[in-house]
Homo-oligomer: A and B are copies of this chain.
Amino acid sequence: MNQVPALAALAEWLTGHRARVLPADIRHTARRCLVDTLGVMLAGAQQPVAGKVRRIVAGEQGPSRLIGTALHAAPATAALVNGVAAHVLDFDDNCYAGFVHGSAVIVPAALALADAKGARGDALLTAIALGSECQYRLGMALENVLYQRGWWTTGMLGGVGACAAAATLLALDSTQCAHALGIALVSAAGMKAVFGTDSKPLTAGYAAQRGVMAALMAQAGVTGPLNALEHAAGFAALCNQGHWAAEWLRADSRHWCLREPGVDIKRIPLCLSSHAAVDALLFLLQQQPCSLAQIDSVVCDVPEIVRANLVYDLPLNAQQAQFSLPFALAQTLLTGDVQLRHLNDAHLQDERLRLLMQKVRYHSSARWQQADLMRDAPEGAEVTLCLRDGSSRSHFVAKARGAASVPLSDDELGAKFLQCSEPVLGAAPAYHLLNQLWQIDRLAVSQLLLFQETGT
Protein backbone atom coordinates (compact mmCIF):
# COMPACT_ATOMS: atom_id res chain seq x y z
CA MET A 1 0.00 0.00 0.00
CA ASN A 2 1.59 3.23 -1.13
CA GLN A 3 -0.99 5.63 0.19
CA VAL A 4 -1.18 6.62 3.83
CA PRO A 5 -4.39 5.14 5.28
CA ALA A 6 -7.01 7.81 5.93
CA LEU A 7 -7.03 7.28 9.68
CA ALA A 8 -3.24 7.45 9.81
CA ALA A 9 -3.44 10.84 8.09
CA LEU A 10 -6.08 11.97 10.54
CA ALA A 11 -3.95 10.73 13.44
CA GLU A 12 -1.01 12.67 12.06
CA TRP A 13 -3.14 15.81 11.90
CA LEU A 14 -4.30 15.19 15.45
CA THR A 15 -0.90 14.70 17.02
CA GLY A 16 0.51 17.56 14.98
CA HIS A 17 -2.02 20.00 16.39
CA ARG A 18 -1.60 18.77 19.93
CA ALA A 19 1.81 20.35 20.02
CA ARG A 20 0.53 23.72 18.88
CA VAL A 21 -1.39 26.51 20.56
CA LEU A 22 -4.91 26.24 19.18
CA PRO A 23 -6.48 29.38 17.70
CA ALA A 24 -8.29 31.41 20.34
CA ASP A 25 -11.68 31.16 18.63
CA ILE A 26 -11.36 27.37 18.38
CA ARG A 27 -10.53 27.15 22.08
CA HIS A 28 -13.49 29.35 22.91
CA THR A 29 -15.81 27.21 20.81
CA ALA A 30 -14.60 24.19 22.78
CA ARG A 31 -15.21 26.10 26.02
CA ARG A 32 -18.75 26.91 24.87
CA CYS A 33 -19.37 23.26 23.96
CA LEU A 34 -18.20 22.28 27.43
CA VAL A 35 -20.48 24.81 29.15
CA ASP A 36 -23.47 23.80 27.05
CA THR A 37 -22.93 20.06 27.39
CA LEU A 38 -22.29 20.12 31.13
CA GLY A 39 -25.52 22.05 31.62
CA VAL A 40 -27.70 19.64 29.67
CA MET A 41 -25.80 16.72 31.23
CA LEU A 42 -26.61 17.94 34.75
CA ALA A 43 -30.29 18.25 33.82
CA GLY A 44 -30.25 14.97 31.90
CA ALA A 45 -28.69 13.11 34.80
CA GLN A 46 -32.00 13.60 36.63
CA GLN A 47 -33.98 11.78 33.92
CA PRO A 48 -35.16 8.21 34.59
CA VAL A 49 -33.04 6.53 31.90
CA ALA A 50 -29.87 8.08 33.33
CA GLY A 51 -30.74 6.63 36.72
CA LYS A 52 -31.35 3.21 35.18
CA VAL A 53 -27.93 3.18 33.55
CA ARG A 54 -26.30 4.35 36.80
CA ARG A 55 -28.00 1.51 38.67
CA ILE A 56 -26.23 -1.02 36.44
CA VAL A 57 -22.78 0.35 37.19
CA ALA A 58 -23.49 1.22 40.81
CA GLY A 59 -21.21 -1.49 42.17
CA GLU A 60 -18.19 -0.29 40.21
CA GLN A 61 -15.51 2.03 41.48
CA GLY A 62 -13.16 4.37 39.70
CA PRO A 63 -11.67 7.83 39.44
CA SER A 64 -14.19 9.50 37.11
CA ARG A 65 -17.26 11.33 38.35
CA LEU A 66 -20.80 10.50 37.29
CA ILE A 67 -22.04 14.02 36.69
CA GLY A 68 -24.87 15.26 38.88
CA THR A 69 -24.19 12.63 41.55
CA ALA A 70 -21.52 11.88 44.09
CA LEU A 71 -20.74 8.54 42.36
CA HIS A 72 -17.55 7.56 40.56
CA ALA A 73 -16.62 4.87 38.02
CA ALA A 74 -13.90 3.79 35.61
CA PRO A 75 -13.36 6.32 32.79
CA ALA A 76 -15.09 4.32 30.06
CA THR A 77 -18.05 3.66 32.35
CA ALA A 78 -18.28 7.32 33.33
CA ALA A 79 -18.22 8.23 29.64
CA LEU A 80 -21.17 5.88 29.08
CA VAL A 81 -23.24 7.20 31.98
CA ASN A 82 -22.48 10.86 31.30
CA GLY A 83 -23.05 10.38 27.57
CA VAL A 84 -26.55 9.08 28.22
CA ALA A 85 -27.21 12.06 30.50
CA ALA A 86 -25.88 14.51 27.91
CA HIS A 87 -28.24 13.34 25.18
CA VAL A 88 -31.39 12.20 26.96
CA LEU A 89 -33.10 15.60 26.87
CA ASP A 90 -32.17 16.18 23.22
CA PHE A 91 -31.04 19.65 24.31
CA ASP A 92 -27.38 19.13 23.32
CA ASP A 93 -25.52 20.58 20.35
CA ASN A 94 -25.45 19.45 16.71
CA CYS A 95 -23.05 19.80 13.84
CA TYR A 96 -23.90 19.74 10.14
CA ALA A 97 -20.50 18.14 9.49
CA GLY A 98 -21.79 14.60 9.71
CA PHE A 99 -25.28 15.54 10.97
CA VAL A 100 -24.26 14.53 14.46
CA HIS A 101 -24.82 15.36 18.07
CA GLY A 102 -21.16 16.01 18.68
CA SER A 103 -20.43 17.24 22.17
CA ALA A 104 -22.81 14.81 23.90
CA VAL A 105 -20.32 12.07 23.01
CA ILE A 106 -17.01 13.94 22.96
CA VAL A 107 -17.35 15.97 26.17
CA PRO A 108 -18.28 13.02 28.44
CA ALA A 109 -15.37 11.01 27.05
CA ALA A 110 -12.88 13.84 27.49
CA LEU A 111 -14.19 14.75 30.92
CA ALA A 112 -14.04 11.16 32.18
CA LEU A 113 -10.40 10.76 31.20
CA ALA A 114 -9.44 14.24 32.36
CA ASP A 115 -10.99 13.37 35.71
CA ALA A 116 -9.09 10.10 35.88
CA LYS A 117 -5.79 11.66 34.97
CA GLY A 118 -6.15 14.75 37.13
CA ALA A 119 -5.77 16.84 33.99
CA ARG A 120 -5.85 20.59 33.83
CA GLY A 121 -8.69 22.45 32.16
CA ASP A 122 -6.60 23.65 29.25
CA ALA A 123 -5.82 20.02 28.38
CA LEU A 124 -9.53 19.24 28.57
CA LEU A 125 -10.33 22.07 26.14
CA THR A 126 -7.63 20.91 23.73
CA ALA A 127 -9.04 17.38 23.85
CA ILE A 128 -12.58 18.60 23.20
CA ALA A 129 -11.47 20.85 20.34
CA LEU A 130 -9.33 18.22 18.60
CA GLY A 131 -11.80 15.40 19.26
CA SER A 132 -14.60 17.48 17.76
CA GLU A 133 -12.49 18.46 14.81
CA CYS A 134 -11.53 14.85 14.01
CA GLN A 135 -15.14 13.71 14.22
CA TYR A 136 -16.46 16.56 12.10
CA ARG A 137 -13.74 16.12 9.48
CA LEU A 138 -14.73 12.49 9.19
CA GLY A 139 -18.34 13.63 8.97
CA MET A 140 -17.47 15.95 6.09
CA ALA A 141 -15.55 13.15 4.37
CA LEU A 142 -18.65 10.93 4.50
CA GLU A 143 -20.96 13.76 3.41
CA ASN A 144 -24.58 13.06 4.18
CA VAL A 145 -24.74 9.54 2.83
CA LEU A 146 -24.48 7.91 6.23
CA TYR A 147 -27.39 9.79 7.77
CA GLN A 148 -29.64 9.52 4.74
CA ARG A 149 -29.00 5.79 4.49
CA GLY A 150 -30.52 5.30 7.94
CA TRP A 151 -27.51 5.13 10.22
CA TRP A 152 -27.66 7.14 13.39
CA THR A 153 -24.58 9.22 12.82
CA THR A 154 -24.12 10.20 16.46
CA GLY A 155 -23.51 6.55 17.33
CA MET A 156 -21.55 5.82 14.20
CA LEU A 157 -19.15 8.78 14.24
CA GLY A 158 -19.22 9.69 17.92
CA GLY A 159 -16.76 7.01 18.94
CA VAL A 160 -14.13 8.53 16.67
CA GLY A 161 -14.55 11.98 18.22
CA ALA A 162 -14.52 10.54 21.73
CA CYS A 163 -11.48 8.44 20.85
CA ALA A 164 -9.58 11.40 19.40
CA ALA A 165 -10.32 13.42 22.53
CA ALA A 166 -9.23 10.54 24.78
CA ALA A 167 -6.11 9.90 22.72
CA THR A 168 -5.20 13.55 23.15
CA LEU A 169 -5.48 13.36 26.94
CA LEU A 170 -3.49 10.12 26.95
CA ALA A 171 -0.85 11.76 24.72
CA LEU A 172 -0.84 8.77 22.37
CA ASP A 173 1.71 8.98 19.59
CA SER A 174 0.65 9.14 15.96
CA THR A 175 0.76 5.36 15.39
CA GLN A 176 -1.15 4.62 18.57
CA CYS A 177 -3.70 7.27 17.59
CA ALA A 178 -4.22 5.64 14.22
CA HIS A 179 -4.79 2.24 15.83
CA ALA A 180 -7.17 3.82 18.33
CA LEU A 181 -9.18 5.47 15.55
CA GLY A 182 -9.29 2.13 13.72
CA ILE A 183 -10.55 0.32 16.81
CA ALA A 184 -13.17 3.04 17.33
CA LEU A 185 -14.37 3.00 13.75
CA VAL A 186 -14.85 -0.76 13.41
CA SER A 187 -16.60 -0.77 16.80
CA ALA A 188 -19.10 1.90 15.76
CA ALA A 189 -22.81 1.22 16.11
CA GLY A 190 -25.98 3.22 15.61
CA MET A 191 -29.18 2.86 13.62
CA LYS A 192 -32.10 5.28 13.43
CA ALA A 193 -34.23 2.41 14.68
CA VAL A 194 -33.31 3.69 18.14
CA PHE A 195 -35.42 6.84 17.73
CA GLY A 196 -38.29 6.90 20.17
CA THR A 197 -36.60 4.51 22.61
CA ASP A 198 -34.15 4.83 25.50
CA SER A 199 -31.58 3.38 23.15
CA LYS A 200 -31.16 6.79 21.50
CA PRO A 201 -29.33 8.36 24.45
CA LEU A 202 -27.85 4.95 25.24
CA THR A 203 -26.17 4.86 21.84
CA ALA A 204 -24.57 8.25 22.51
CA GLY A 205 -23.27 6.86 25.79
CA TYR A 206 -21.98 3.72 24.13
CA ALA A 207 -20.13 5.83 21.57
CA ALA A 208 -18.44 7.77 24.36
CA GLN A 209 -17.55 4.53 26.15
CA ARG A 210 -16.16 2.91 23.01
CA GLY A 211 -14.12 5.98 22.20
CA VAL A 212 -12.44 5.95 25.61
CA MET A 213 -11.90 2.18 25.41
CA ALA A 214 -10.37 2.45 21.93
CA ALA A 215 -7.80 4.98 23.16
CA LEU A 216 -7.01 2.90 26.25
CA MET A 217 -6.71 -0.23 24.10
CA ALA A 218 -4.27 1.43 21.70
CA GLN A 219 -2.28 2.77 24.64
CA ALA A 220 -1.97 -0.81 25.91
CA GLY A 221 -0.73 -1.89 22.47
CA VAL A 222 -3.89 -3.40 20.99
CA THR A 223 -3.93 -2.95 17.21
CA GLY A 224 -6.83 -1.84 15.06
CA PRO A 225 -7.12 -1.79 11.29
CA LEU A 226 -5.37 1.39 10.14
CA ASN A 227 -7.37 1.18 6.91
CA ALA A 228 -10.71 0.75 8.73
CA LEU A 229 -12.23 3.51 6.59
CA GLU A 230 -11.17 2.42 3.11
CA HIS A 231 -10.83 -1.37 3.64
CA ALA A 232 -12.92 -3.42 1.20
CA ALA A 233 -14.86 -4.66 4.23
CA GLY A 234 -14.53 -1.44 6.20
CA PHE A 235 -16.60 1.53 7.23
CA ALA A 236 -17.02 3.34 3.92
CA ALA A 237 -17.80 0.20 1.94
CA LEU A 238 -20.25 -1.25 4.44
CA CYS A 239 -21.99 1.89 5.68
CA ASN A 240 -21.40 4.74 3.24
CA GLN A 241 -21.87 3.17 -0.18
CA GLY A 242 -18.12 3.13 -0.64
CA HIS A 243 -17.92 6.89 -0.62
CA TRP A 244 -15.41 9.03 1.28
CA ALA A 245 -13.74 12.28 0.32
CA ALA A 246 -10.06 11.98 1.16
CA GLU A 247 -9.32 15.71 1.22
CA TRP A 248 -11.12 16.16 4.54
CA LEU A 249 -8.76 13.76 6.27
CA ARG A 250 -5.45 15.05 4.91
CA ALA A 251 -2.84 15.67 7.56
CA ASP A 252 -2.10 19.14 6.17
CA SER A 253 -5.70 20.31 5.97
CA ARG A 254 -6.08 23.82 7.38
CA HIS A 255 -9.85 23.84 7.49
CA TRP A 256 -11.53 23.99 10.91
CA CYS A 257 -14.99 22.39 10.95
CA LEU A 258 -15.48 24.07 14.32
CA ARG A 259 -15.53 27.33 12.31
CA GLU A 260 -17.37 26.15 9.21
CA PRO A 261 -20.00 24.74 9.39
CA GLY A 262 -19.54 25.27 13.14
CA VAL A 263 -21.62 23.95 15.99
CA ASP A 264 -25.35 24.60 16.45
CA ILE A 265 -26.34 25.12 20.07
CA LYS A 266 -30.00 24.78 21.00
CA ARG A 267 -31.49 27.79 22.73
CA ILE A 268 -34.69 26.03 23.78
CA PRO A 269 -35.29 22.37 24.72
CA LEU A 270 -37.32 21.46 21.65
CA CYS A 271 -36.74 19.83 18.28
CA LEU A 272 -34.61 22.22 16.21
CA SER A 273 -37.38 22.39 13.61
CA SER A 274 -39.47 24.56 15.91
CA HIS A 275 -36.76 27.09 16.76
CA ALA A 276 -37.05 29.49 13.81
CA ALA A 277 -40.80 29.81 14.28
CA VAL A 278 -40.35 30.57 17.97
CA ASP A 279 -37.75 33.22 17.13
CA ALA A 280 -40.07 34.78 14.55
CA LEU A 281 -42.93 34.91 17.04
CA LEU A 282 -40.70 36.43 19.73
CA PHE A 283 -39.62 39.12 17.29
CA LEU A 284 -43.25 40.00 16.54
CA LEU A 285 -44.19 40.10 20.23
CA GLN A 286 -41.21 42.25 21.11
CA GLN A 287 -41.90 44.64 18.26
CA GLN A 288 -45.50 45.16 19.30
CA PRO A 289 -46.68 43.49 22.47
CA CYS A 290 -50.26 42.21 22.66
CA SER A 291 -52.40 40.43 25.19
CA LEU A 292 -53.40 36.82 24.80
CA ALA A 293 -57.02 37.89 24.47
CA GLN A 294 -56.19 39.88 21.35
CA ILE A 295 -54.82 36.89 19.48
CA ASP A 296 -56.93 35.16 16.92
CA SER A 297 -54.38 32.75 15.47
CA VAL A 298 -50.70 32.14 14.74
CA VAL A 299 -50.07 30.92 11.22
CA CYS A 300 -46.74 29.39 10.25
CA ASP A 301 -45.33 28.71 6.83
CA VAL A 302 -42.58 26.10 7.21
CA PRO A 303 -40.67 23.63 5.00
CA GLU A 304 -42.01 20.11 4.62
CA ILE A 305 -39.19 18.74 6.77
CA VAL A 306 -40.42 20.84 9.69
CA ARG A 307 -43.95 19.52 9.29
CA ALA A 308 -42.56 15.99 9.09
CA ASN A 309 -40.56 16.44 12.29
CA LEU A 310 -43.21 18.18 14.39
CA VAL A 311 -46.02 15.67 14.45
CA TYR A 312 -47.89 16.40 17.71
CA ASP A 313 -50.66 19.00 17.50
CA LEU A 314 -51.89 18.53 21.07
CA PRO A 315 -49.04 16.83 22.91
CA LEU A 316 -49.87 14.70 25.94
CA ASN A 317 -46.44 14.36 27.48
CA ALA A 318 -43.07 16.08 27.58
CA GLN A 319 -41.54 13.97 24.81
CA GLN A 320 -44.40 14.77 22.47
CA ALA A 321 -44.22 18.46 23.39
CA GLN A 322 -40.61 18.53 22.15
CA PHE A 323 -41.96 17.65 18.72
CA SER A 324 -44.93 20.02 18.60
CA LEU A 325 -45.05 23.39 16.85
CA PRO A 326 -48.34 24.32 18.60
CA PHE A 327 -46.71 23.72 21.98
CA ALA A 328 -43.59 25.67 21.06
CA LEU A 329 -45.58 28.74 19.98
CA ALA A 330 -48.31 28.54 22.63
CA GLN A 331 -45.71 28.30 25.37
CA THR A 332 -43.88 31.28 23.89
CA LEU A 333 -47.12 33.26 23.90
CA LEU A 334 -47.88 32.23 27.48
CA THR A 335 -44.61 33.08 29.24
CA GLY A 336 -42.38 34.54 26.52
CA ASP A 337 -40.02 31.58 26.67
CA VAL A 338 -39.72 27.78 26.58
CA GLN A 339 -37.76 26.24 29.42
CA LEU A 340 -37.08 22.75 30.69
CA ARG A 341 -39.51 23.32 33.55
CA HIS A 342 -42.33 23.69 31.00
CA LEU A 343 -41.70 20.17 29.77
CA ASN A 344 -43.78 18.34 32.32
CA ASP A 345 -46.99 16.47 31.92
CA ALA A 346 -48.92 18.51 34.48
CA HIS A 347 -48.11 21.79 32.78
CA LEU A 348 -49.30 20.34 29.46
CA GLN A 349 -52.79 20.04 30.99
CA ASP A 350 -52.91 23.79 31.68
CA GLU A 351 -56.15 24.95 30.06
CA ARG A 352 -54.69 28.27 28.88
CA LEU A 353 -51.85 26.47 27.17
CA ARG A 354 -54.18 24.02 25.45
CA LEU A 355 -56.43 26.83 24.17
CA LEU A 356 -53.41 28.66 22.80
CA MET A 357 -52.13 25.50 21.10
CA GLN A 358 -55.40 25.34 19.21
CA LYS A 359 -54.75 28.80 17.78
CA VAL A 360 -51.62 27.61 15.98
CA ARG A 361 -51.90 26.56 12.34
CA TYR A 362 -49.13 25.60 9.99
CA HIS A 363 -48.65 24.76 6.37
CA SER A 364 -45.91 24.47 3.81
CA SER A 365 -46.24 26.91 0.90
CA ALA A 366 -44.77 26.69 -2.58
CA ARG A 367 -41.97 29.08 -1.61
CA TRP A 368 -40.05 26.20 -0.04
CA GLN A 369 -39.60 24.64 -3.43
CA GLN A 370 -36.89 27.22 -4.16
CA ALA A 371 -33.55 25.48 -3.84
CA ASP A 372 -31.69 28.55 -2.62
CA LEU A 373 -34.23 29.17 0.14
CA MET A 374 -33.95 25.57 1.31
CA ARG A 375 -30.18 25.92 1.36
CA ASP A 376 -30.24 29.16 3.40
CA ALA A 377 -33.25 28.33 5.57
CA PRO A 378 -33.52 24.52 5.77
CA GLU A 379 -35.67 24.76 8.90
CA GLY A 380 -36.83 28.36 8.48
CA ALA A 381 -40.28 29.82 9.21
CA GLU A 382 -42.53 32.71 8.36
CA VAL A 383 -44.89 33.39 11.25
CA THR A 384 -48.00 35.54 10.96
CA LEU A 385 -49.65 36.79 14.12
CA CYS A 386 -53.37 37.43 13.42
CA LEU A 387 -55.24 39.56 15.92
CA ARG A 388 -58.98 39.64 16.61
CA ASP A 389 -59.19 43.19 15.19
CA GLY A 390 -58.39 41.75 11.76
CA SER A 391 -54.84 43.09 11.68
CA SER A 392 -51.87 40.82 11.20
CA ARG A 393 -48.10 41.06 11.00
CA SER A 394 -45.51 38.62 9.74
CA HIS A 395 -41.83 37.90 10.24
CA PHE A 396 -39.47 35.51 8.50
CA VAL A 397 -36.54 33.75 10.19
CA ALA A 398 -34.11 31.72 8.10
CA LYS A 399 -32.03 30.28 10.90
CA ALA A 400 -32.85 30.18 14.56
CA ARG A 401 -30.65 31.79 17.14
CA GLY A 402 -28.14 29.25 18.34
CA ALA A 403 -27.29 28.08 14.83
CA ALA A 404 -23.59 28.39 14.12
CA SER A 405 -24.17 31.40 11.85
CA VAL A 406 -26.42 33.14 14.43
CA PRO A 407 -24.71 32.08 17.63
CA LEU A 408 -25.96 32.56 21.15
CA SER A 409 -23.94 35.10 23.09
CA ASP A 410 -21.87 33.79 25.98
CA ASP A 411 -24.43 35.39 28.29
CA GLU A 412 -27.30 33.56 26.61
CA LEU A 413 -25.33 30.34 26.82
CA GLY A 414 -24.72 31.00 30.51
CA ALA A 415 -28.43 31.58 31.05
CA LYS A 416 -29.17 28.22 29.43
CA PHE A 417 -26.56 26.61 31.67
CA LEU A 418 -28.19 28.06 34.77
CA GLN A 419 -31.64 27.01 33.61
CA CYS A 420 -30.32 23.43 33.35
CA SER A 421 -28.12 23.31 36.43
CA GLU A 422 -29.88 25.41 39.09
CA PRO A 423 -32.62 22.83 39.79
CA VAL A 424 -29.89 20.23 40.29
CA LEU A 425 -27.12 22.06 42.11
CA GLY A 426 -28.95 25.03 43.62
CA ALA A 427 -28.57 28.61 42.43
CA ALA A 428 -25.28 29.60 44.09
CA PRO A 429 -23.32 26.43 43.23
CA ALA A 430 -24.64 26.52 39.65
CA TYR A 431 -23.46 30.10 39.26
CA HIS A 432 -20.12 29.22 40.83
CA LEU A 433 -19.69 26.27 38.43
CA LEU A 434 -20.52 28.46 35.45
CA ASN A 435 -17.80 30.90 36.48
CA GLN A 436 -15.38 28.02 36.89
CA LEU A 437 -16.19 26.76 33.40
CA TRP A 438 -15.52 30.11 31.75
CA GLN A 439 -12.08 30.11 33.32
CA ILE A 440 -11.46 26.37 33.04
CA ASP A 441 -8.14 27.02 31.28
CA ARG A 442 -6.66 28.06 34.59
CA LEU A 443 -8.16 25.30 36.77
CA ALA A 444 -7.66 21.61 37.30
CA VAL A 445 -10.62 19.55 36.13
CA SER A 446 -10.85 18.04 39.60
CA GLN A 447 -11.74 21.48 41.01
CA LEU A 448 -15.01 21.63 39.09
CA LEU A 449 -18.09 21.38 41.29
CA LEU A 450 -19.94 18.75 39.30
CA PHE A 451 -22.15 16.90 41.72
CA GLN A 452 -24.89 17.16 44.24
CA GLU A 453 -23.92 15.40 47.43
CA THR A 454 -27.25 13.63 47.70
CA GLY A 455 -27.36 12.28 44.15
CA THR A 456 -27.48 8.57 43.38
Given the complex of chains A and B, what is the CA–CA distance between A239 and B232 in angstroms?
Answer: 15
Smallest Cβ-Cβ distance to A212: which chain B residue? B56
* Given the contacts A199-B186, A233-B151, A193 and B225 also touching, CB distance less than 8 Å: yes
* Interface-lining segment among A91-99, A214-222, A310-318, A368-376: A214-222
Contact digits for A194-227, partner B, Cβ 8 Å, 1 yes 0 no = 1111110011001000100100110011111101
A238 in contact (CB, < 8 A): yes
Instruction: Please tell me if the beta carbons of A222 and B198 are within 8 angstroms of each other in the complex.
Output: yes
A252 in contact (CB, < 8 A): no
Instruction: Please tell me if the beta carbons of B189 and A222 are within 8 angstroms of each other in the complex.
Output: no
Distance from A59 Cβ to chain B, minimum over Cβ atoms (Å): 7
* Given the contacts A56-B216, A62-B59, A237 and B186 also touching, CB distance less than 8 Å: no
Please report A residues at the B interface, Cβ cutoff 8 Å. Answer: 48-49, 52-53, 55-57, 59-62, 74, 149-152, 182-183, 186-199, 202-203, 206, 210, 213, 216-217, 220-225, 227-228, 231-235, 237-239
Smallest Cβ-Cβ distance to A221: which chain B residue? B52
Instruction: Please tell me if the beta carbons of B52 and A222 are within 8 angstroms of each other in the complex.
Output: yes
Contact of A193 among B52, B60, B150, B234 (CB under 8 A): B234
Instruction: Please tell me if the beta carbons of A237 and B150 are within 8 angstroms of each other in the complex.
Output: yes
Instruction: Please tell me if the beta carbons of B191 and A235 are within 8 angstroms of each other in the complex.
Output: yes
Distance from A189 Cβ to chain B, minimum over Cβ atoms (Å): 5
Q: What are 14 residue pairs bridging A and B, where the CB atoms are less than 8 Å apart in the complex?
A: A52-B222, A57-B74, A60-B60, A60-B61, A150-B233, A187-B206, A189-B189, A191-B228, A191-B235, A191-B238, A198-B224, A199-B223, A199-B224, A202-B222
Distance from A72 Cβ to chain B, minimum over Cβ atoms (Å): 11
Contact of A149 among B61, B183, B213, B238 (CB under 8 A): B238
- 7 closest cross-chain pairs (CB), A and B: A150-B233, A192-B233, A193-B231, A193-B234, A52-B220, A193-B225, A198-B223
A186 neighbours in B (Cβ, 8 Å): 189-191, 193-194, 199, 203
Most buried by B among A60, A198, A232: A198
A232 neighbours in B (Cβ, 8 Å): 150
Distance from A14 Cβ to chain B, minimum over Cβ atoms (Å): 19
Smallest Cβ-Cβ distance to A222: which chain B residue? B198
Distance from A170 Cβ to chain B, minimum over Cβ atoms (Å): 11
Smallest Cβ-Cβ distance to A54: which chain B residue? B220
